[in-house]
Amino acid sequence: QKEVEQDPGPLSVPEGAIVSLNCTYSNSAFQYFMWYRQYSRKGPELLMYTYSSGNKEDGRFTAQVDKSSKYISLFIRDSQPSDSATYLCAMSYMHRDDKIIFGKGTRLHILP
């Protein structure tokens, strides 16, 4: 079983819809969870950074962590065409760890 599993997509949704992106993981020792957005031919940009279980909200973005199920989610409300990108989940054992484990990324298309 891979450490981090993420559906590669592509996921296409109409503009204005709520988007749900998910990752599962196998190692219960992960404590810190991240979501990065990556536009084509660009580096990843950090969207959300959370510790342990619970929810974190930032504008249109909400990150959820369910450690009991080893499942993390990113919700995007009122999706915009500019949200079209690849979304990478990532996780680590320690705060600002040298070793971050990345998912393969989900390609998201928001249809105008």
Residues that bind other proteins (CB under 8 A): 4, 6, 8, 32, 34, 36, 41-46, 49, 88, 90, 92, 95-105
Minimum gap (Å) between residue 14 Cβ and other proteins: 25
Minimum gap (Å) between residue 104 Cβ and other proteins: 5
DSSP, residue by residue, 43-89: --EEEEEEESSEEEEETTEEEEEETTTTEEEEEESS--GGG-EEEEE
Which residues are CB-neighbours of 77 under 8 A, at least 6 positions away? 18, 60, 61, 62
Q: Which is nearer to other proteins, 15 or 57 (CB)?
A: 57
Q: Which is nearer to other proteins, 68 or 95 (CB)?
A: 95
What is the Rg, in whole angstroms, of the alpha carbon atoms belonging to the chain? 13
Minimum gap (Å) between residue 90 Cβ and other proteins: 8
